[in-house]
Chain A
Amino acid sequence: GAVVSQHPSRVICKSGTSVKIECRSLDFQATTMFWYRQFPKQSLMLMATSNEGSKATYEQGVEKDKFLINHASLTLSTLTVTSAHPEDSSFYICSAPTIGIAGTQLEIDTQYFGPGTRLTVL
C-alpha cells in the first residue's frame, strides 16, 4: 500500500486565495521531505527540501514567500501556495526518503512519492 499520502488529491480555487497541501509519511518518520512541481507532459522540478525542525531549503527561482513550507512533525510536511494565480496551476508531488525498516516493504535508500495534488487556480 501507499507509504506517502497527500491531501487533497485535487483542489480548485479562485485567484488570490491560499491553498494548503499536506504530505504525510505513513509508518515511517521522515526528517526530510521534498516538494516537486510537474507541468503537463513535463518532468518533475524540485521546488524545495522540507526539513523537520528547521527552515526549508528552496531551489533557485522558487519564491519562498509564495510557497510556504512547514515541516510540523516527523510525518507531516505542508506546502501552502499563497495568493494563488492561474500560472500556479500544476501537479504538486511530495516525496520522503527512507533508510529502510527491517520486516517491512520499505527499501533502503529509496524515496517514496505521494500520489500528487492537482491544483487548478481559476
Chain B
Amino acid sequence: AQSVTQLDSQVPVFEEAPVELRCNYSSSVSVYLFWYVQYPNQGLQLLLKYLSGSTLVKGINGFEAEFNKSQTSFHLRKPSVHISDTAEYFCAVSAYNTDKLIFGTGTRLQVFP
C-alpha cells in the first residue's frame, strides 16, 4: 500500500518570494508521483508528474518538483509566486502500472501582496 504525507497544511508567502511545498511518500513498490492544484470550488488540475527518467520535473505555471528516492520525497517548488498561485495543492502517488491515486492531505498556499 502507498501513503502520502504533506507536512504543511498551510504555507503563507509574499508575492514574488520562492516557495517549497513538501511531500513525502511511502511505498513498498515503485511509484508514480503527481502534484495537482485545486482552485476554490473547482476540480483538480495536473501541475506535473514523475513517471521515470530525470528526477527534476517541470510543470505548468512555473512549478517544478524533484523526485528523491532515497528520501522518498517529491517536493514542489516555484522561484517566484504570484497572487494567482493561491490555491490548494495536493501531492499524490500511484503504484507503478496502476491508475489508483492516493492523495496527501493537501497544502493551502496563500500568497499575499
Binding site for B on A (CB under 8 A): 4, 6, 32, 34, 41-46, 49, 93, 95, 97, 107, 109-116, 118
Contact = CB atoms under 8 A, between A and B. Distances in A.
Contacts of B87: none
A43 B105 contact: yes
Contacts, number: 48
A25 B45 CA distance: 15
By size class, the interface of chain B is 20 to 34
Interface of B: 32, 36, 41-46, 49, 51, 90, 99-106, 108
A12 B66 CA distance: 42
8 contacts: A43-B90, A43-B103, A46-B102, A93-B43, A110-B46, A110-B49, A114-B43, A115-B43
B44 A93 contact: yes
Contacts of B49: 109-110
A97 B99 contact: yes
Contact of A113 (B43, B99, B102): B43
Given A43-B90, A43-B105, A34 B46 contact: no
